[in-house]
């Protein structure tokens, strides 16, 4: 019990410091170190196995950090960096914009503004599979879909709120959270995406789309907004923009990963990193045909490398920091105490999944990040689920979805701040309009996971 009390105190302080804009990586690593140091005195168990230990418990804390840096950078870290580099390259050559333009074109055919808004969410969520950056996708949709919705008569607040949540589900192998969830569940990322994410995501998307239609219409009516068509001037076409064929490039990695997997062609193996690098080279071929300047095309790959480096400095380090914090919680016995309490309280597998999911939800809202809480707590899910006799994926899936969903209710998260800045409305207003759709999304996620796999 003492370990749990210390863990709660340290966790509360950790959350407070992150809310106050202290560097999340540093806070998590220091907090994890403190918990591990306390565990040496309270629990008395060594932090590392005898072969890996340094011989001094104080040094073992930093040895653990070294081990995590080495393993995560070589595996999961490389996946995250490759995806980020590819996304950055797609933005540079205009392929992401081409994909968005094609996908939103059918929406212009309808004249029921709030129905278009609901379908717009679904289009945005599908695009998120191929454009995994929440902020990047949000900004692209603000340049395109936003003008369509406002011209149909939807208020700028309603359009912004929907666009801010278009990436609430981290779907596909391009998502760092999804990749981490698949790894911790011991599943191939393609299997995790096709067999687990998609069935639940389809239901959640339907619920969010309908709830956005209802809630945004309700808020617009409440603020006295009058639905009328408007003429919105666009920024104009850039004569050097790529052709429609470029829309296939952001989709190419997903096609390769799914095609060469256990779902279709299992004789050929295609991992995420290989798919990303191969797709970059194919894209460079497109660029060579388009511009005819070999030197500039070869130089453009630096954008891919820059994207990788940025992601290491921000996300990969956050993964490591999250695992250090999770190690601290585990080593001090806090998680074992919670599990024991849940078992004796009759929570069972589903009850414990709800508890873990709610921890993620609260953390994501106060931190303004879906990555930070999921990276911190996802590593605990396999051990927790094993003790409860359930497959880890049934706990990880709701946790992973909840991290992205709850992030979009936070007025300090990057995508909410970015899109509200363009439409010049308060991030708090965006979060308020998103609260009900996102709450229903979390409930639907938990309900569908329990219904589909009956745990």
DSSP assignment of 356-385, as one string? HHHHHHHHHHHHT-SHHHHHHHGGGHHHHH
312: number of Cβ within 10 Å: 17
User: In the numeric block, which tokens belong to residue 122?
Assistant: 């679904």
Q: What global pTM score does this model have?
A: 0.72
- The per-residue pLDDT for range 209-235, each reduced to its tens digit, is 999 999 999 999 998 887 776 544 443
The overall average pLDDT reported for the chain is 85
Q: Give mean pLDDT, residues 114-119.
A: 92
Residue 391 φ then ψ, to 5°: -75, 140
DSSP-derived 3-state class of residue 109: helix
- The per-residue pLDDT for range 369-405, each reduced to its tens digit, is 787 788 878 888 888 888 778 899 999 999 999 999 9
User: In the numeric block, which tokens belong to residue 354?
Assistant: 């709800």
238 pLDDT above the threshold of 60: no
- Report d(CA 260, CA 146) in Å as an integer: 36
Position 240 scores a pLDDT of 65
142 pLDDT above the threshold of 90: no
Position 236 scores a pLDDT of 36
User: In the numeric block, which tokens belong to residue 427?
Assistant: 């991030």
pLDDT greater at residue 310 or residue 118? 118
CA 127 to centroid of chain Cα atoms = 14
Rg (CA), the chain: 23
Q: Positive or negative CA dihedral for 383, 257, 137, 405?
A: negative
DSSP-derived 3-state class of residue 20: coil
pLDDT band at residue 66, thresholds of 50, 70 and 90?
Answer: very high
- Report d(CA 360, CA 357) in Å as an integer: 5
Cα pseudo-dihedral 65, 68, 357, 13, rounded to 10: 10
Position 346 scores a pLDDT of 67
User: In the numeric block, which tokens belong to residue 161?
Assistant: 């709120």
Whether 131 contacts 93, CB under 8 Å: no
Task: Find the range with the poorest average confidence among 24-38, 232-246, 294-308, 339-353.
Answer: 232-246
pLDDT greater at residue 340 or residue 141? 141
Residue 372 φ then ψ, to 5°: -55, -55
CA 380 to centroid of chain Cα atoms = 18
CA 183 to centroid of chain Cα atoms = 15
Q: Give mean pLDDT, residues 259-272.
A: 82
Position 108 scores a pLDDT of 64
User: In the numeric block, which tokens belong to residue 433?
Assistant: 């309009």
């Amino acid at each position: 019990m003492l370990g749990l009390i210390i863990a709660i105190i340290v966790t509360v302080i950790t959350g407070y410091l992150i809310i106050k804009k202290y560097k999340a990586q540093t806070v998590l690593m220091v907090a994890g170190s403190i918990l591990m140091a306390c565990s040496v005195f309270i629990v008395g168990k060594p932090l590392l196995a005898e072969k890996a230990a340094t011989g001094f418990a104080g040094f073992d804390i930093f040895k653990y950090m070294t081990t995590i840096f080495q393993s995560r950078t070589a595996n999961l870290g490389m996946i995250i960096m490759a995806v980020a580099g590819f996304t950055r390259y797609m933005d540079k050559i205009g392929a992401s914009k081409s994909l968005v333009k094609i996908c939103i074109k059918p929406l212009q055919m309808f004249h029921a503004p709030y129905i278009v808004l609901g379908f717009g969410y679904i289009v945005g969520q599908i695009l998120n599979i191929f454009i995994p950056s929440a902020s990047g996708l949000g900004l692209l949709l603000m340049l395109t879909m936003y003008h369509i919705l406002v011209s149909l008569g939807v208020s700028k607040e309603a359009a912004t709120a929907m666009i801010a949540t278009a990436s609430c589900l981290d779907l596909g192998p391009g998502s760092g959270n999804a990749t981490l969830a698949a790894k911790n569940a011991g599943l191939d990322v393609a299997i995790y995406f096709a067999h687990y994410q998609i069935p639940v995501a389809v239901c959640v998307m339907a619920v969010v789309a309908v709830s956005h239609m209802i809630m945004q219409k309700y808020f617009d009516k409440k603020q006295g907004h009058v639905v009328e068509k408007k003429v919105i001037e666009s920024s104009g076409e850039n004569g050097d923009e790529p052709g429609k064929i470029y829309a296939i490039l952001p989709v190419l990695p997903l096609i390769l990963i799914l095609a060469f997997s256990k779902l279709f062609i299992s004789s050929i193996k295609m991992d995420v990193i290989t798919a990303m690098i191969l797709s970059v080279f194919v894209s460079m071929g497109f660029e060579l045909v388009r511009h005819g300047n070999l030197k500039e095309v070869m130089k453009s790959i630096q954008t891919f490398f820059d994207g990788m480096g940025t992601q290491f400095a921000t996300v990969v380090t956050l993964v490591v920091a999250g695992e250090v914090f999770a190690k601290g919680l585990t080593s001090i016995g806090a998680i074992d105490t919670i599990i024991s309490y849940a078992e004796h309280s009759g929570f069972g597998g589903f009850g414990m999944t709800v508890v873990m999911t709610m921890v993620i939800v609260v953390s994501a809202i106060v931190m303004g990040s879906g990555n930070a809480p999921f990276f911190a707590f996802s590593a605990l899910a396999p051990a927790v689920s094993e003790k409860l006799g359930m497959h880890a994926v049934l706990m990880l899936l709701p946790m992973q979805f909840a991290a992205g969903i709850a992030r979009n209710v936070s007025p300090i998260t990057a995508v909410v701040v970015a899109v509200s800045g363009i439409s010049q409305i308060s991030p708090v207003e965006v979060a308020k309009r998103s609260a009900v759709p996102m709450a229903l999304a979390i409930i639907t996620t938990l309900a569908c996971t329990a219904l589909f796999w009956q745990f």
